[in-house]
Amino acid sequence: MKIQVIQGPNLNMLGIREQNIYGPMKLEDIHKQMKAFADQSGVEIDFFQSNLEGELVDKIQESLGVTDGIIINAAAYTHTSIAIADAIKAVSLPTIEVHISNIHARENFRKKSLLAPVCAGQISGFGPFSYHLAMVAMIQILNEIKSIKDQQNQSAS
């Protein structure tokens, strides 16, 4: 089981920018916690961060056939990027949208996610713990998919 974590613009500035909204934890620390949980769960995990929309689209497309699911915090592109939404839809991998802050309690433009309709779910507002919740949810989704495939294979035998 392999999970691709994709981080969008300005997330490389966590721990520095707007600590009153995003907290003091750095992205590397979030990734360390996710890696520790993945190791405990027997899951392979890979991390990618870019400030460029096209690079995020490329990474989503490159995930096809390589990973089982995607956890994405597209940051500001959540509210503007049809290209990222189309890429998620195209690869048809289970995808969970994550936000550190509660986007629904912020400015009006942040309340609309173009990604939510093509994702399995959205987790927001729990600070860095949002990523842990996304990991738990993704592992559950992937285990359910595996169970269904196993049942289909047994029926075909």
The pLDDT value given to residue 20: 75
Catalytic: 99? yes
pLDDT of the residue at 94: 98
State the CATH number of the domain containing residue 79.
Answer: 3.40.50.9100
- Distances in whole angstroms, Cα of residue 23 to Cα of each of 16, 20, 122, 123, 127: 9, 6, 20, 17, 7
Domain count, the chain: 1
Question: Is 131 among the residues known to form the active site?
Answer: no
Catalytic residue among 22, 31, 77, 131: 22
Q: Which residues of the chain have pLDDT under 50?
A: none
Q: Which of 31, 79, 99, 131 is catalytic?
A: 99
* Confidence at residue 95, expressed as pLDDT on a 0 to 100 scale: 98
By residue range, what is the domain housing residue 94? Answer: 2-156
Contacts of 30 (CB under 8 A, 6+ apart): 14, 128, 131
